[in-house]
Every structure is written in C-alpha cells, then in structure tokens.
Amino acid sequence: MSKPKVFCTHPLFETPRKLLEEHFEVEYWNRPERPPRAEVLKRVADTDALICLLTEKVNEELLAAAPKLRIAANVAVGFDNIDVPACTRRKVVASNTPGVLDETTADFAWTLLMAVARRLLEGDRLVRSGQWTGWNLDQLCGADIWGKTIGFLGFGRIGRAVARRASGFRMRVIYHDAVRAPAEVEKELNATFLERDAVLAQADFVSLHVPLLPDTRHLMSAAQFAKMKRTAFLINTSRGPVVDEAALVAALDAGRIAGAALDVYENEPQVHPGLVGRSNVALAPHIASASVETRTKMATIAAENVIAVFTGRRPPTALNPEVLEAK
C-alpha cells in the first residue's frame, strides 16, 4: 500500500524529518524563498497532510484545493494564519506548537528589551565603524533596567516566562489580560493585575504577549502611546498587527515614548520606513523562538501531530480535536 503524502512548505530538522519519513512519502519545499501561493495550492492537490509555516494561509481557498487533506500542522504557536473553523467544517485537523517555545521567546523579549534600553545596537555600529574614540563619560547612556517597572499586555505562558526573569532585575511586575492569572501565579511572579490604561501609564517597559485576534489588532495605537511614559519602551514579540505601526512611528517622531524593540511587523517582511533609520529602535526579523533546540522541538511536534492523525492516536496539540471525535 502506498504511504500517505505529506507536503512540508519548508525543509525540517533531522529529528522530525526522520520521524515523518518512516510513515509518509514526504515532499519538501526546498528553495530559500517562501513558496508562491500558486505553488502551495498546486502541491496540496494530492497531499494527505500539510506541515506549514505562519507565512502560509490555511483558508477556504487552500482547503478547497486540497480534497484529501486530513491535517494542517502549523510550525508556530500563533495560528492567525489558519482559519480553524474552516478546517473544522471540512474535517481537517489544525494544530500548532504550544508549550515548547515559551522560555526561548521570553529570553528573546529580554534580548530586545536590553538591546534597546542599553543601546547595544548603536554601540555595535559605532565599534564596527571604526569611529569609536575610546571611553567617554556621556557616550551612549541608555536607561536602567533594574529596579524599573515592566508591564505586560497579555499574561499567558510567554508573558509569565518573561515576568519570571524580571525578579533578577528586581523589577516591579504589572500586567493586564482578559483573564486574570490565578492568585498563586501572581504570588510566584510578584505580579499585580491592573487595568490596561494603568499598565500603560506606569510601565517603563511595555511588553506585548497577546495572540492576534480581531480584538487585539492595533491594541497599541495613538491613544495607547499617548498614555505611556515619555521615558518608556515598547517591546513586541507577539504579532505585528497588534501594533499600529504608523501610530508607533508618529509616537517616536513626537518623542511620545523613548523607543521600541520589535521582532514582528504589521506587513512582514516589510518594515515601516519610519522605523528603519531610527537609533532608538531595535529591529529583529521574527526570530524570538529561533534557537536550534526550540525550532527542532516545534517541527517535531508538528510531525507528531501528523503521525498521530494517521495512526489513530490523539494529536498532542490539535486546535480542533472535535474533528476526530466526530468520526
């Protein structure tokens, strides 16, 4: 009997590759650029499973082009690229990769925070330029981190992992989330729940950790920047459209906030031109979860979800497990 087919829109790491190749006929998109949409639609026509990145939209159009598809496994925790109700209607399992990237992403939120507060990238550019003339009293003075207040909008697994690291900096932790954290979590993280505007008004660093939903699109816009301290920094490792980039640029132009450090953008891979030339902004190319260990785990979970569907087991991180229960 021929093996079921899996199309992966990116080559995978060795561990998940070997796992998959035991069970399936696997086809990879191997080119450095992301596959054009037409190519994805063509390749899914006779595939039984899809392993995709957050750059691929799994929507009605794709599902209609993939009549045999049983699972779309996203190699990302965020799944705003997947129309889960459409998958459910067509009895296609959708899955993501929660749990394995929280700590790595939290490390990177701190990387960004520290880079922008302590002007690391400006310093790096100065040293490389050969223009550095030696130690000097007021050169590249940034903002202290220790002892300040860090404020979270969104306090799920990743936000909490970032907050856990704040105690080493002896910081005050404040947060807002649609759902208040359990008392034991607040106690462990020494975190205080506040209304959103109070978080914005009191934080020296505002770190975003909400999923992208209709309600969170442009959660940070002109009105919110106006509430922040002029000395505060915005850190975004969630999703680009959570921030109104034009409003962010206007706030930076007006000196409404001190700076920003971003891993994600409204229209990736495009970056608002008003961000590019600024020294008080640190920009990363959506790499918060990009450690070899974590990306390997993410791809492995995607492979395990696919294997589970075809071996009659429960996929570990299905977003719509009811699809299987209904069968």
Q: Please identify, among the stretches 13-21, 70-78, 128-136, 179-187, the one whose residues bind ligand GLV according to the rule CB under 6 A.
A: 70-78
Secondary structure (3-state) at 183: helix
Is 210 an interacting residue with respect to ligand GLV (CB under 6 A)?
A: no
Minimal distance in Å, beta carbon 318 to ligand GLV?
A: 16
Minimal distance in Å, beta carbon 74 to ligand GLV?
A: 8
- Is 256 among the catalytic positions? no
Is 282 an interacting residue with respect to ligand GLV (CB under 6 A)?
A: no
- Is 172 among the catalytic positions? no
Minimal distance in Å, beta carbon 34 to ligand GLV?
A: 15
The one catalytic residue among 266, 286, 295, 304: 286
Q: Please identify, among the stretches 72-80, 126-134, 274-282, 318-326, the one whose residues bind ligand GLV according to the rule CB under 6 A.
A: 72-80
Question: Which residues within the stretch 139-198 sit at the binding site for ligand GLV (CB under 6 A)?
Answer: none
**CA quadruple 274, 138, 284, 211: dihedral positive or negative?**
negative
The DSSP bridge partners found for residue 73 are 51, 95
Minimal distance in Å, beta carbon 101 to ligand GLV?
A: 6
The one catalytic residue among 176, 239, 256, 295: 239
Place of tokens 């957050």: 54
Question: Which residues within the stretch 296-325 sit at the binding site for ligand GLV (CB under 6 A)?
Answer: none
Is 81 an interacting residue with respect to ligand GLV (CB under 6 A)?
A: no
Nearest-angstrom CA–CA distance, 306 and 12: 14
Minimal distance in Å, beta carbon 289 to ligand GLV?
A: 5
- Is 239 among the catalytic positions? yes
Nearest-angstrom CA–CA distance, 206 and 278: 19
Q: Please, are residues 16 and 73 in contact by the beta-carbon 8 Å criterion?
A: no
Pick the closest to residue 107 from 168, 151, 190 (CA basis). Answer: 168
Beta strands in the chain (DSSP E): 5-8, 25-28, 49-52, 71-74, 93-95, 149-153, 172-176, 191-193, 205-208, 233-236, 259-262, 281-283
Helix residue ranges, H only, 46-96: 60-64, 84-89
Question: Which residues within the stretch 42-61 sit at the binding site for ligand GLV (CB under 6 A)?
Answer: 54
Nearest-angstrom CA–CA distance, 220 and 241: 9
Secondary structure (3-state) at 236: strand
Identify the residue among 111, 149, 202, 289 touching ligand GLV (CB under 6 A): 289
Is 78 an interacting residue with respect to ligand GLV (CB under 6 A)?
A: yes
Is 77 an interacting residue with respect to ligand GLV (CB under 6 A)?
A: yes
Identify the residue among 71, 73, 76, 242 touching ligand GLV (CB under 6 A): 76
The DSSP bridge partners found for residue 262 are 236, 283
Return the active site residues: 239, 268, 286
Residues of this chain that interact with ligand GLV (CB under 6 A) are 54, 76-78, 101, 289
